[in-house]
Amino acid sequence: MKLVLPDCVLAVLPPLPQLRADWAVYLLYCTNGAFYCGITNRPLQRWQLHCAGKGARYTRMYPPLRMRLVCQNINKAAAARCEYRLKRLKAADKAVLWQLLEDFLT
């Protein structure tokens, strides 16, 4: 069975990096059922900060349950562009993307 990605998901994925490539875009599934998106060059440490209540203000109010990486090994500019596009997706489109990704941390 061939997997066909929706256009909304394809638009989020950045082109192959040309510069330093140590950044990642992550998606968190929070306790309120919503998704939180961010970028980092240290996914494990960022997850720990969010879980400890020392991450973003949003994740202090709604702690994360799971983390999945959308893109990794990209440069910071590409990560920021990907994050911007991902944040503009509708919740239903983020849910489709979430189903296509593997768990990074739970």
Q: What is the CATH number of the domain that holds 83?
A: 3.40.1440
- 3: which residues sit within 8 A by CB, 6+ positions away? 100
Please give the average per-residue pLDDT across 85-103, as a whole number.
95
Domain count, the chain: 1
Residue 3 lies in a domain: no
**Which structure tokens are listed for 37?**
């998106």
Residue 45 in any domain: the answer is: yes
Higher-pLDDT residue of 106 and 46 is 46
> Using CA atoms, how far apart are residues 69 and 1, in angstroms rounded to an integer?
24
64 in a structural domain: yes
Mean pLDDT in residue range 12-26? 70
* Structural domain range at position 86: 16-105
Amino acid in the structure at residue 4 = V
Decide if 76 is inside a domain: yes
Residue 94: is its pLDDT beyond 50?
A: yes
7 lies in some domain:
no
- Reported pTM: 0.79
Instruction: Give domain status of residue 54, yes or no.
Output: yes
